[in-house]
């Protein structure tokens, strides 16, 4: 199937190895130095571009975390915005480390994933100089992204901005009782720079 140019560009912009070295050096009290891997995987290929994502603290690269699947799709109409649907792993440990060791992903199947119904983003785009895009992804109003982890319900707020070389993550954990952010992009986005293209 041929995909819209904007969907192809979104997949290309998001695929890669990133880190926020400059931000972490400039403001180490608030921003941990992270590596972020977003690798294409062969799932949902009939209508989507799909990425495996995980991240790791630079001082603990052998213990990556936040393994997830991002399914990039066209909207359900000619003028509808792009969408990203998130999935979690039934057993995240099986694929831990696949960011730096992509051979592990060759065994990945849809049966190993759980759909996260409330964890979806609407992606808007604008054309910027050099015939490229800036993508802005936000959760739809009144949506809640929740999932079960270690026998607890976890709520997160998702969002990002992406260009060809930069990825700004607004992801943060939310205290479901108070609605306040507890981790992540509390004082602004994590500002990643792409170091490798996948």
Model confidence pLDDT, tens digit, residues 26-67:
999 889 999 999 999 999 999 999 999 999 999 999 999 999
Please tell me the distance from the alpha carbon of residue 145 to that of residue 51, in angstroms, as a whole number: 18
Distance (Å, whole) CA 17 – CA 196: 5
* Alpha carbons within 13 A on the beta-carbon side of 158: 25
Which of the 8 DSSP states describes residue 3?
Answer: P
Reported as a single tens digit per residue, the pLDDT across 60-90 is 999 999 999 999 999 877 678 999 999 999 9
CB under 8 Å to 172, separation ≥6 — which residues? Answer: 156, 157, 181, 182, 183, 184, 185, 186
CA angle 24, 30, 34 (to 5 degrees): 40
SS3 157: strand
Res. 150: pLDDT tops 90? no
DSSP per residue over 96-121, as a string?
TTTTT-GGGGGG--GGGEEEEEEEEE
Q: Which two tokens stand for residue 119?
A: 């964890």
pTM to 2 decimals? 0.93
């Amino acid at each position: 199937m041929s995909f819209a140019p904007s969907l192809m560009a979104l997949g290309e912009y998001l695929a890669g190895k990133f880190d926020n070295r400059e931000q972490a050096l400039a403001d180490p009290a608030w921003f941990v130095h992270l590596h972020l891997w977003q690798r294409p995987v062969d799932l949902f290929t009939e209508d989507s571009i799909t990425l495996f994502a995980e991240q790791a603290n630079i001082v603990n690269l052998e213990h990556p975390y936040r393994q997830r699947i991002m399914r990039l799709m066209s909207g359900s109409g000619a003028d509808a915005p792009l969408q990203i649907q998130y999935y979690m792993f039934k057993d995240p440990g099986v694929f831990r480390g696949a960011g730096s060791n992509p051979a592990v992903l060759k065994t990945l199947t849809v049966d190993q994933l759980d759909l996260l119904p409330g964890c979806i983003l609407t992606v808007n785009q604008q054309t910027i100089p050099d015939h490229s895009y800036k993508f802005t992804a936000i959760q739809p109003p009144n949506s809640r992204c929740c999932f079960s982890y270690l026998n607890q319900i976890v709520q997160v707020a998702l969002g990002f901005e992406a260009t060809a070389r930069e990825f700004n993550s607004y992801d943060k954990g939310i205290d479901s009782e108070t609605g306040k952010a507890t981790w992540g992009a509390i004082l602004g986005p994590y500002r990643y720079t792409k170091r490798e293209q996948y």
